[in-house]
Amino acid sequence: MDSTNQSLKPLTVKVNEAGNLEIGGCDMVKLVEKYGTPLYVIDETTLKTVCSDYKKAFKMYPKVNMMFASKALCTMATSKLLFDEGFGFDVVSAGEIYTVYKAGVDMAKVLFNGNNKSFDELTLAIELGVGRISVDNFFELSLLNEIAKSNNKVVDILLRITPGIECHTHEYIQTGHLDSKFGFDLTQIDEAVELILNEYTNLKLHGLHAHIGSQIFETSVYGDEIEILVKEIARLDEKFGLKLDEINIGGGLGVKYTEADCPPSVHTVARIVINRLNECIKKYDIQPPALFIEPGRSIISTAGVTLYTVGSSKQVPKGKKYVAIDGGMADNPRPSMYQAKYFAEIANKKDNLSSNIVTIAGRFCESGDILIKDIKLPELEEGDILCVYNTGAYNYSMASNYNRVQKPAMVLVNNSQSDMIVKREDLDDLISHDVIPDRLKK
C-alpha cells in the first residue's frame, strides 16, 4: 500500500484485549453503548494521513491548490479539520457554502461548482466571498454577470468544460464524457469566452475546469485530461490573447471498498498529472498554470465506518440467509443506487472463527434494501454489532429520512477519545418542519 486510499480499513483498526474491534483507540462496542446505532464513525488519524499523502504526492509541482469535494461529506467538524490540514473546498450548494463558512473556512479558498446554481445561491456565494465560481453553462454566465453587476462586484470564474473522456465507472458517476449534463462542450468555449470579454464584463475568467468521473481506477485518463485543458488554454491565448493561468482537473480517484478493488495510489496519479502537465507546458508553450485538484471520496471514505446492530434473520428454504440490521438504504443508498459493494466484520466477535454466507438486509420497506450480498461472517445473533468499512464518503451526505426514520449520529475518534460531530435526529426533528394548515385543525 502506497497511500491511504488503497486501504480497506481505517489505519488504526485493531482487535483489543476484549476481542472487540477498535478504531482510533476506541472500542466499537463501547462506542455503540454510548451513542447507539446506526452510527457513523470517522477516524481522525486516517483522515489526516490521507491529507498528508496528497500534500506529499503533489509537492513537486509548485502551484497546487488542494480542494476537498464537499459533496463526499460535509459537516462543520470535518470541514474545520480539513481546512486546518491545508485544504480548500469544492462546494455545490448553498448548504455546503454555509457549512464551510460557519466552520471558519477562508472563503477565498472555496470554489462553487454545479450545473444549475440558483439566483439565491450565487448571491450568497458573492456575499460570502467565495474565491472561484466554476460556470457550467450559458444561462449561468448571464445570471452570474447580472448578479455581480447589481452588487458592483467583479467575480472570479472558471469555465467548466466536458473534455470528452469516458471513464469505466458506473454510468451515473461519469461526468467528463460528451453526453453529460455538466459543462460547456469544447465547441462552445469560444462563444462563452467572447461573451465574457465583450459583454459580461463583471466576470473575470482565470482558467478551465474539468471533471472526468468518480471511483476512477484508470490512471491514463488524468494525462489525457491535462492534455486537453492545456491545449485549450494555448488555443485561447492564440485566438483571443487570453492569458489563463489556472486549470482544475477535478478529483475522482477510487478507493478500496472490497478486497477485489485495486485503486491506484495518490502518488501514482500525482506523478502522471505532474509529468504530463510539465510536458504539455513545454509542448504548447504556456506559462505554468496553478493546478487545482478536488479529491473527495479518496480523502474521506477510508476514514469512515458505519456501525449497525443485528436484529432479525430469515433462512429461505434452499436459499439465502438474510440477516437484518437497524439501518440500510436510508443511511447508505449506494448499494441500491449503484450496486456498490462493501466489506464488513463483526465488531464484538473477532475471535469467533466459524463462518456462514449471509446477506445483510436493511430495515427499510424495499426489497432492494440489501446492504451486502453473500458475505462470510461468524454466526450472527441479535445484538451483535456489524462494522461496515469505507463508508466515509456518500453515506451521510446522501442519507434520507425514508420511512420517516431518523438520520444517524456521527462521531470523530482519535487517541481513545470520541466526540460527537453530528447529533442523532430524534422524533421531534422529523416533524420540526411539518405544518398543519389552520383549516385542518377544526
Task: Write out the catalytic residue numbers.
Answer: 365
d(CA 161, CA 229): 9
All three cell numbers of 76: 462543520
d(CA 315, CA 322): 6
Could you tell me where the beta strands, DSSP code E, fall in 210-303?
246-248, 290-293
All three cell numbers of 1: 500500500
All three cell numbers of 40: 457513523
Give 368's contacts (C-beta < 8 A, 6+ positions apart).
Answer: 329, 336
Measured in residues, the chain has a length of 442
d(CA 276, CA 293): 15
d(CA 295, CA 85): 14
Q: What are phi and psi of 180, to 5 degrees?
A: -135, 150
d(CA 139, CA 179): 19
Relative to beta strand 184-185, strand 155-162 is: parallel
**CA distances in angstroms from 122 to 113, 144, 147, 433, listed in the order given:** 10, 7, 8, 25
Give 238's contacts (C-beta < 8 A, 6+ positions apart).
Answer: none
All three cell numbers of 261: 478493488
Type of residue found at 293: I
